[in-house]
Structure 1
Amino acid sequence: MTPRPRPAPAPTSLEAVPSPRRGGTLTPAVAPPRFAALGDSLTAGIGDPVDGGDWRGWAALLGGTLGGGEDGTRFRNFAVSGALTRDVEERQTPDALAFAPDIASVVVGVNDTLRRAFDIQDLAPRLDRVCAALAGRGTVLLTACLPDPGAMLGLPAPLARPLARRQRALNAVVHVLATRYDTVHLHLADTAWVADRSLWSADRLHPGERGHRMIAARFHTALTAQGFALGPPPALDPDRPPPTRAESLRWLATSGTGWVARRCRDLLPELLRLAGDEITHRARGSSAGLDLRADHALSGALAALAAAPTGNGN
């Protein structure tokens, strides 16, 4: 029987944490590796604008260190802003498998926590199947736990607590999968990382250029240590000055407002209901019941993962 997976210890730093690989040390690459990036707006590069109105982001910065020119033969970014775990499984993973990557990043889930129908027992097996499909062909996976969006946005406690429960559940699942598939893992929910406002963009949900560069550099360090043939690491210093307050407000009033509105259309009614539950339970002194309900759902998700066979031949 497969041992029941346990969440990894609480994160202590932003450093990448490569798990010890089953079967020995990774054989050093003889050619630049192929890198596929899967996920949502974080991986699509939101928060790191470049000339022409496009986004770059940490995955493109890391991909730029692989060699092989700019023809897309070594790096493909399949991430789409707004993607859910379901989208990564059903749309991005088949394309990524066809690309036959040596490295693949799977960083997704925050959008799921911002949806009315969040269900950790549905999300966990989807994310497991994505990791299994990629690891099953020998791909080295990059993963990350993510900060709580309620805390990032500074929401009032009745609104923030439901989101915090969801994000904790998501991160617990990611920690289990990081161990199960020996991923190179970043603790992006680390307190120091979250508190450093110079790393974040105006919307308070996505890294700015400096944050994206730091993520790319951390993954680069870990992959180089595992023997991948990478070029020089991405520079940590930004190419451009941080946006002024006026520029940040302009972005929030235009593109940022639309981004938030698209998500609130689905989330807001449910979040208001959850906030009502928080207030009611707090008044009754039964807030612990909400935590127990969330813990029970998470326990069911982790138990299902423990019972499922791995897809990487281990």
Structure 2
Amino acid sequence: MPGSTGGSVRFAALGDSLTEGVGDPAVDGEGWRGWAALLAESLSPPEVPVGFRNFAVSGAQTRDVWSSQTPQALAFEPDLVSVVVGVNDTLRCTFDIHRVTARLDRVYGAFAERGALLLTACLPDPGALLGLPGALARPLARRQRAVNTVVHALSERYGAVHLHAADGAWVADRAMWSADRLHPGEAGHRALAVRFHERLRLSGRELGPAPALTAERPPPSRTASLAWLATAGTGWVLRRCTDLLPQLAALAADEVRHGLRGTAGRLDLRAASAASAALASVGAVSGELKGAPAQVH
């Protein structure tokens, strides 16, 4: 995978805390390492140097990736760019799938125009990871499915190497997750790096050996996870979701009403229609979405 600078490879990572590496402490104990750094070490044969910059910031939303991280990464002139973002958007009362879609389309397009290869991923919903009650979890799951639908379609549009990281087995394996239940632990970050490496290999890229899959540190115990949730976890969730809580309560009430009436399917239809309309607005509706009904407000 030769780059634009004398045969080297330049890899830029954009996104939020997942790509920043939260959950996988750096070897020297300073900050985080994470899947992107692990992947960077395996992107080329030993004789080809790799330049790596991680622009991801904890808490980032799609607007931050577009307005701040993208200009910085474009100046780096990368050959390979990972854009993994969207979960924080679903945790805000300002969530708007149209705006998320427009921003991602601009981000993907900016790098594709420069000839960079994109790495993208669909992600599990935060409600499932945190084990929220159904009436609270389902609205968040619906939002994340909408984001994943958009990421799938735009990844196809821009020829991205796309990773399905929202599957049930990944979410259910507690050994993959850190004590906060929302970020991968070392094992999870290594698994992501290995899966991205495999996707790149299947795309025909010349790579170095895959990252090691075996974690050097044991996963957190159930006791440690419960302790985190009872102390730091509560504060973390409140900081991330303060503006969402009133709206989430209303969404949960709506969920219960539709459940009692047997019309819960309308909520799923509404979310799917909104994602389809958002993709249509940027001219990126995939074949399987063209037959979806118009947006329901």
1:250/1:53 CA distance change after superposition, 3 Å: farther
Task: Check conservation: 2:20, 2:56, Cα contact below 8 A.
Answer: yes
Of 172, 179, 183, which residue of structure 2 is paired with 1:202?
179
1:5 — aligned with what? Answer: none
CA distance in 2, matches of 1:79, 1:47: 14
CA positional deviation for 1:292: 2.9
Q: Which residue of 2 aligns with 1:219?
A: 196
The answer on 1:135 being equivalent to 2:107 is no
User: Is the contact made by 1:106 and 1:143 (CA closer than 8 Å) also made in structure 2?
Assistant: yes
Question: Structure 1 residue 252: deviation in Å?
Answer: 4.0
Task: Say if 1:38 and 1:104, in contact at 8 Å, map to a contact too.
Answer: yes
CA distance in 2, matches of 1:299, 1:67: 38
Instruction: Flag the 1:227–1:286 CA change in 2: closer, same or farther, 3 A.
Output: closer
The answer for the alignment partner of 1:188 in structure 2 is 165
Which of 23, 29, 39 pairs up with 1:52?
29
Aligned partner of 2:90 in structure 1 is 113
Query: In the TM superposition, what is the alpha-carbon distance from 1:229 to its structure 2 partner?
Result: 4.7
Deviates more, 1:257-266 or 1:190-199: 257-266
* 1:91 alignment partner, one of 68, 77, 97: 68
Question: Over residues 29-49 of structure 1, what are the superposed CA-to-partner deviations in whole Å (9 max), with x where a residue is unaligned?
Answer: 672310000000110011112
Alignment gaps of 5+ in structure 2: 286-297
Taking structure 1 as reference, are residues 31 and 257 closer, same or farther at Cα in structure 2, changes over 3 Å only?
farther
Change over 3 Å in CA distance of 1:251–1:116 after alignment to 2: same
Which of 6, 22, 35 pairs up with 2:11?
Answer: 35
Report how far residue 228 of structure 1 moved. Answer: 4.2
Q: Which moved more, 1:245-254 or 1:101-110?
A: 245-254
Q: Which residue of 2 aligns with 1:290?
A: 267
Q: What residue in structure 1 maps to residue 150 of structure 2?
A: 173
Aligned to 2:289: none
Residue number among 212, 237, 244 corresponding to 1:260 in the alignment: 237
d(CA) in 2 for partners of 1:295, 1:68:
43
CA separation of 1:32/1:204 partners in 2, compared to 1, >3 Å: closer, same or farther? same
SS in structure 1 of the partner of residue 242 of structure 2: helix
Is 2:40–2:50's contact at 8 Å kept on the other side of the alignment?
no
Q: Secondary structure at the match of 1:54?
A: coil
- Give the aligned residue type for 2:13: A
Task: Rate the CA distance shift 1:228–1:255 in 2: closer, same or farther, 3 A.
Answer: farther
Give the number of equivalent residue pairs.
280
Q: Which has the higher contact order (CA 8 A, sep 6+)?
A: 1
Residue identity matched to 1:206: H
Deviates more, 1:115-124 or 1:288-297: 288-297
Kindly tell me: are residues 68 and 82 of structure 1, through their superposed partners in 2, closer, same or farther at Cα, counting changes over 3 Å?
Answer: farther
Q: TM-score, normalised by structure 1?
A: 0.82
| Equivalent-residue separation in structure 1 for 2:155 and 2:55 (angstroms) | 21
TM-score, normalised to structure 2, is 0.86
The 1:67/1:28 distance shift into structure 2, 3 A limit, reads closer
Q: Determine the C-alpha separation between the residues in 2 that align with 1:172 and 1:158.
A: 22
Identity of paired residues, percent? 65
Task: Give the Cα separation in 1 of the matches to 2:269 and 2:160.
Answer: 30
RMSD across aligned C-alpha pairs, in angstroms? 2.4
